[in-house]
Amino acid sequence: MKTTFPVSRSGRFARGPGADVAQFTESISFDRRLWRHDLLGSLAHAAMLRKIGVLTRAEHAAIVKGMNAITREIEAGKFRWRPALEDVHMNLEAELTRRVPAGAKLHTGRSRNDQVALDLRLWLRDEIVALFGETTDLQRALVSLGEKYSDVLIPGYTHLQRAQPVYLAHHLLAYVEMLERDLHRLAGGFVRTNVCPLGSGALAGSTLPLKRELVAKLLGFVDDGGKPQLTQNSMDAVSDRDFAVEFCAAAALLAVHLSRLAEDVILWASAEFNFIRIADAYTTGSSLMPQKKNPDIAELARGKSGRVFGNLMALLTLLKGLPLTYNRDLQEDKERLFDTADTVRATVRIMAAMLRHTAVNRAACAAAAGDPALLATDLADYLVKKGMPFRQAHHAVGAVVALAEKTGKPLNRLTLAELQSVDKAFGRDALGVFDLKRAMAKRNLIGAPGTKEVAKQLARWREQLA
């Protein structure tokens, strides 16, 4: 059995792990993407070790130089990652120490347990900021589409049945609101991620006079007032993955919203709705049916939500039975977290691009929104304004709808006599209710799809997203 000795094997081990063990336990194949943050954490730790005199000035300088060289090699794709060294932390430390003897002092007062917690937090902070930006951009794409077609009306649906008319922009802004709440959840999670665990050691801190505040400041773990944010319990700090779960939960909700938006896009792009046309570049063809143009981006956006939910469930399950503190199970957190971050970010980005390459079919929208049945509720409101109790008005208009169906006429083509055959309260002005433009001008409650209100909301978002 060929064996190698990772740096985690102290003098108590007579031999290295077997190849099968190394293969089963390694994480370098996926945690190497943390390399930049691992080095960043090590640089801050080294600066602190210099400050408390563990490293001499020369040792510190040599370590910084060595790490800079390693950074350049990794960036150039020239660094040799060694699975035998298990993970990103030991790969980097071992290589540094091979080049710079003082590298052997770098792990003073530190464990991979607080190191990996640190790396994950550093990595996730950047990821949240990036996702934040991309999600805001998707909001912009939705607002732009709404503005471009600000006069377009479509039916709003409940139970996927035509219900009442709305501006297309109102429908799109519904998603902007959802995304805004997603952003708030991500921002809340950021605050709890932005706490420095370094100095927690393996689980019980250190007997050395480490300067935790200094490290936290160097790594930007500070609140809005510049106050360093430190974990307050070493055992919690090395076991806690709440911040990762919270991100995956916020991302799962974001994925729900993306999936619902995708579903609307898929419906709208169908021949049955025909409300939108997605540009060729953002659709795919069928290998068999030459006429097909499929909304695959939206379908994948809908489909990928499944793995994002699965990742959340995996993390919750991973954590639920773990005794304090660190357990190797925690290594399984990374791929789920990475996959969630990658999936939602890619989805948000491609959805924004697709929406920017989507045209609205005004004629089809107008035809659908012109269905007078969409204004049946307005006719009931008409009777209410004449003093009729709503329940009675609802019943009367139901009878009008039945009459229209029986006579094969659209609702707005019934005569006054026909309306009055149902209820004497209908007057000459009753049919005026079916003027769609006027109907939309009347819906101006806050949050309603009225002409003025939707324009106001579009303007508000435009300004907020500027």
Binding residue (CB under 6 A) for ligand ARG from 35, 46, 85, 87: 87
- The answer to whether 27 contacts ligand ARG (rule: CB under 6 A) is yes
Alpha-carbon distance of 324 to 316, in angstroms, equals 15
Closest to 457 measured CA to CA, from 257, 137, 138, 173: 173
Q: How far is the CB of 209 from ligand ARG (least distance, A)?
A: 24
Binding residue (CB under 6 A) for ligand ARG from 85, 116, 276, 373: 116
The pattern of x and - marking residues 150 through 169 that bind ligand ARG according to CB under 6 A reads --------------------
If the CB atoms of residues 79 and 123 are measured against ligand ARG, the closer one turns out to be: 123
> How far lies 237's CA from each of 8, 168, 220, in Å?
21, 48, 17
Alpha-carbon distance of 353 to 358, in angstroms, equals 9
Alpha-carbon distance of 347 to 258, in angstroms, equals 8
Alpha-carbon distance of 191 to 123, in angstroms, equals 14
Residues 6+ apart with CB under 8 A from 3: 15, 16, 17, 18, 19
Residues 6+ apart with CB under 8 A from 232: none
Sign of the Cα pseudo-torsion (390, 393, 397, 403, in order) = positive
Across the strands, what pairs with 275? none
Q: How far is the CB of 125 from ligand ARG (least distance, A)?
A: 18
Q: How far is the CB of 331 from ligand ARG (least distance, A)?
A: 4
Residues 6+ apart with CB under 8 A from 369: 153, 154, 155, 165, 436
Task: Based on the residue annotation, tell me whether 200 is a catalytic residue of this protein.
Answer: no
Question: With helix as H, strand as E and coil as C, how does 88-142 read?
Answer: HHHHHHHHHHHHCHHHHHCCCCCCHHHHHHHHHHHHHHHHHHHHHHHHHHHHHHH
> How far lies 317's CA from each of 5, 118, 120, 298, 321, in Å?
32, 22, 19, 30, 8
Task: Based on the residue annotation, tell me whether 27 is a catalytic residue of this protein.
Answer: no
If the CB atoms of residues 247 and 461 are measured against ligand ARG, the closer one turns out to be: 247
Q: Which of 29, 184, 270, 286 is catalytic?
A: 286
Binding residue (CB under 6 A) for ligand ARG from 37, 112, 212, 336: 112
Query: Segment contacting ligand ARG (CB under 6 A): 68-76, 187-195, 206-214, 325-333?
Result: 325-333
Binding residue (CB under 6 A) for ligand ARG from 243, 326, 382, 434: 326
Question: With helix as H, strand as E and coil as C, how does 14-47 read?
Answer: CCCCCHHHHHHHCCHHHHHHHHHHHHHHHHHHHH
Query: Segment contacting ligand ARG (CB under 6 A): 132-140, 274-282, 326-334, 407-415?
Result: 326-334
If the CB atoms of residues 110 and 302 are measured against ligand ARG, the closer one turns out to be: 110
Query: Segment contacting ligand ARG (CB under 6 A): 266-274, 324-332, 370-378, 428-436?
Result: 324-332
Q: Which of 107, 159, 234, 305 is catalytic?
A: 159
Q: How far is the CB of 83 from ligand ARG (least distance, A)?
A: 12
Q: How far is the CB of 215 from ligand ARG (least distance, A)?
A: 18
Q: How far is the CB of 25 from ligand ARG (least distance, A)?
A: 8
If the CB atoms of residues 11 and 408 are measured against ligand ARG, the closer one turns out to be: 11
# residues near ligand ARG by CB under 6 A:
10
- The answer to whether 428 contacts ligand ARG (rule: CB under 6 A) is no
Applying the rule CB under 6 A, the residues between 28 and 57 that interact with ligand ARG are 31
Binding residue (CB under 6 A) for ligand ARG from 2, 57, 78, 328: 328
Q: Provide φ and ψ at 87, rounded to 5°.
A: -135, 180
Segments of 143-249 assigned E as strands: 153-158, 161-167
Strands 276-278 and 161-167 come out as unpaired
The pattern of x and - marking residues 168 through 207 that bind ligand ARG according to CB under 6 A reads ----------------------------------------
Active site residues: 159, 286
* Site residues, ligand ARG (CB under 6 A): 27, 31, 87, 112-113, 116, 326, 328, 330-331
